[in-house]
Chains A and B, each alone.
Chain A
Amino acid sequence: MAFRDSTTTARAPRVDNLGNAAGGRGTRSGPWPVVVLSILIAAFSLLPLGYVAFMTGNAGWDTIQKLVFRPRVGDLLLNTLGLVVVTVPLCVVIGVAGAWLVERTRLRGHKIWSVLLAAPLAIPAFVNSYAWVSAVPSLGGLFGGVLIATLSYFPLVYIPVAAVLSRMDPALEQSGSSLGLGPWKVFFRVVLPQLRLAAAGGALLVSLHLLAEYGAFAMIQFDTFTTAIYDQFRSTFDGAAANMLASVLVLFCLLLLLGESKTRGNARYARVGSGVQANPPRLAMGWLEIPGQLGLAALTALALGVPLFHVARWLILGGPGIWTGGALAGALLQTLGYGLVGALVTTVVAFPLAFLVIRHPGPVTKLLEGANYISSSMPGIVVALALVTITIHNVPAVYQTAVVLVAAYALLFMPRALVNLRAGLAQAPKELDEAAQALGKPPLVAFLRVTLRLTAPAAAGGAALVFLGIVNELTATLLLAPNGTNTLATEFWSLSSEIDYTGAAPYALLMILLSAPMTYLLFAQSKKAAGQ
């Protein structure tokens, strides 16, 4: 019997009202000055990419053929590809295994290990290279490159993966157990798949660093595209050959970005609700305790012990004389100056874009963000090459001035500021601005007293990371620094290139000391950010 039900029930609309208010109405493009600024900034950040495209287009097919399809490029391709293909999986394995050991097992001392595994990030790759060359003077070739790169860059995988592991909702693992999986099966079938996004993001960062690194590989005379472009540029200056190599390098970067976005698909980085944080379960290690401890000890000895030991050794060998060379204080001051100015400029420049992304998401904003993401993935050598050529030809007034160098820093490190500003702005929803306006504050005052105030800590965190990047930046600084400007990195580089290893040691120490607190900040921040 079919019932014709004549009673209707009051519809209770769901709480999707919230999403409606936040997303559905925010599609307008935002205040026009901010939009114009953001477009200008995005256009500026596209300069290096545009330069490479323009140069390649201008060169003509014959030149491209002559300059790209030759044995030398084949060698570089082999070296660079080999480096990426071997180093990235190594970094992923070490990073994920390390993260799992310190976050998910009852390994003794896991708190100390968790910091020690992130610490190698405070040692610039070229300082690491310098230490290893001191230890093993014959180090070189693909093996040397892979060794130094892996030891320098595995924290780029370790940090995000550890962050996700420590914040992962234990309920998922409990569901796995309740479905009859043992702890190891839970790890492989429930936990590991969730790390994919963090690991892929880390792997992309490692690959981009590998493509961009100059100092570490030049020190052991292992040729990659970046070292070759640098040498080519130094010898021929503004030559078509350097440009062509740069376009191959850029092509590589674009392929990597494409590959990473494919692995990521439509999934978002793990988000855990804002609810009460339960502690994820830790596995008993049993007989695996000893191999685990030994493995971590060996890793730390290689990645931290070797560089610290050799820097210390050169310092002791050099005695007090190496501290009074005169250039040290100047280099330190200039580094701090560039670091502070660069961090400030980068944060200010990134603000309009971050503001649009959070407050006025839409197709235009997405495009601007994408442009910035791609352009800031360009290696420092390409950015430097583009800025040198453009300033010489179009704005000679600023050629080899601090302005250009700061602009290069802003281009290179904008994502660091952007990521932090975005997180900060997300903590300052527009409703708070509106509440201030409803309380009689004009929009600008409301913005200053609420939004800017709430974003300040995140902006400072981002600025600190930009500062860290600038302190350790070598490639672009070498090409763009005004005459007479020496940063810690460039001074270290010129001394160690002259095999004055004792003279270089104080610079290495200062860079490590400056980087250490920032690295800790990055580490601490990643733990918080993973939950958002």
Chain B
Amino acid sequence: MTTSRRPAPAASPVPAFAADPHHVTDHLLVGGVRKSFGGTEVLKGVDLTVAQGRTTAIVGASGSGKTTLLRVIAGFEAPDAGSVCLGGVQVAGPSGWLPAHRRSVGYVAQDGALFPHLTVGQNIEFGLPVRGRTAAPRVAELLEMVSMDPAYARRKPSQLSGGQQQRVALARALARQPQLMLLDEPFSALDAGLRVATRRAVSKTLSDAGVTTILVTHDQAEALSFADQVAVMRDGRLAQIGSPFVVYTRPTDRATAEFLGDAVILEAWMEGSLALCSLGGIPVRRPPVQGRVHLMLRPEQIRITEGGNIRGRVVDTDYFGPETTVRIQLAPIVVDPAGPVDPHQPVGGEVISIRHWNAMLARPGTELSLKVVGEGVVFPWDG
């Protein structure tokens, strides 16, 4: 069994092998991790690589296993199979298992998990080898790092707001200069306005400190905005891993597409790199299949335009202030009886929802012309 290196508190958090800043190292390697609880397999073989200093969001519905994965990485749970390597050292796997306190991992729980019997300062110095007056400068430094006044050190956690508690929890986790920071839905307990502000503050602090970070969340928008890399977790597996832009615009399956945002799904016929559907011919990059498919477009790709041959009638609208969701029934496509019969010709008539900024334009019954911007994504036809 190997032991993890515990960097001295004042030492640089960057391990020696990453001395070259341009060389991106795989800092965390999760390979084939499985975990069952009472006969239920929660993790069914998870592989994940996180580069040094980068931010990864693991996003998934509740019960998908994302929190368990985080707990395996943290060392609160031992995997049944597979391995976890941290900074080149195997912390879980065939050669043994290191418990949480011997890994150099920071952890921020959903509600911060500040010790209620200790002051903010005592919480922050909890993991430090020094305490009291000796630790005070470091505590002040850490509080400033999370944009809090050092005077807060004397307060009790109960005197802080939710966002402040989370920032103190982050400062506490940063105190030991961990190699890896794990955030378990740290923003979900905060209300909407505070959530965005705290997320930004935490994100900035972590990237300034250059700490490799994993965020677990069920909030797709949070995952897409926070991370360099998004891993979509579903049913104990990582369904897709990629940059936020790629997983949002080119999801690999329909469930991922629908989980990450609103999606317009239409029946289509794939020929070459063009999908023929009620919205016309939509270009698709590297389609996995040909023939009958589901075509996925994001609602913001469908625009209202002046003129054009794709037409639809407004069914109803939902007004949200800055934008309006407009439900549109596409016009049935009239087939020229004299022309050649194409069995793959779309018939039209589907109802789609798009978003538009101008509520006045979209009164129910209005006839609109539509156009599609960008590429679509197709998934195999599943009946």
Report A's interface with B, CB cutoff 8 A. 3-18, 20-21, 24-25, 27-28, 427, 429, 431-432, 434-443, 446, 450, 453-454
Contacts and interface: CB of A to CB of B under 8 A. Distances in A.
Interface string B250-278: 00000000111111111000000000000
B62 A3 contact: no
B62 A16 contact: yes
Given A6-B266, A10-B258, A20-B62, A440 B127 contact: yes
Nearest to B105: A438
B259 A10 contact: yes
Contacts of B299: 7
B356 to A, nearest CB: 14
Nearest to A427: B116
Contacts of A18: 110
Given A6-B265, A10-B259, A441-B126, 16 more contacts: A3-B315, A4-B350, A7-B351, A7-B352, A8-B258, A8-B265, A10-B260, A13-B62, A16-B62, A24-B63, A434-B74, A435-B107, A437-B76, A437-B101, A438-B182, A439-B101
A434 B6 CA distance: 18
B68 interface: yes
B17 interface: no
Interface of B: 6, 37-38, 61-63, 67-68, 74-76, 99-102, 105-107, 109-111, 113-117, 126-127, 169, 172-173, 175-176, 182, 185, 188, 218-220, 258-266, 299, 315, 327, 329, 349-354
Given A5-B351, A8-B262, A438 B106 contact: yes
B6 A440 contact: yes
A11 B256 CA distance: 11
Contact of A17 (B173, B185, B262, B329): B185
Contacts of A17: 62, 67, 185, 188, 218
A435 B101 contact: no
The 6 A-B residue pairs with the shortest CB-CB distance, nearest first, are A439-B127, A438-B107, A7-B353, A435-B113, A17-B62, A437-B100
Contacts of A6: 264-266, 350-352
Contact of A432 (B102, B113, B173): B113
25 contacts: A3-B329, A4-B349, A5-B351, A7-B353, A7-B354, A10-B259, A12-B218, A15-B188, A17-B62, A17-B67, A18-B110, A431-B109, A431-B110, A435-B113, A435-B114, A435-B169, A437-B75, A437-B101, A438-B74, A438-B107, A439-B101, A439-B175, A440-B127, A442-B99, A446-B101
Contact of B99 (A21, A27, A443, A453): A443
B38 A28 contact: yes
Given A6-B350, A20-B63, A438-B106, A11 B258 contact: yes
A225 to B, nearest CB: 45
A442 B98 CA distance: 11
B37 A28 contact: yes
A25 to B, nearest CB: 6
Contact of A434 (B38, B61, B113, B264): B113
B191 to A, nearest CB: 12
Nearest to B330: A6
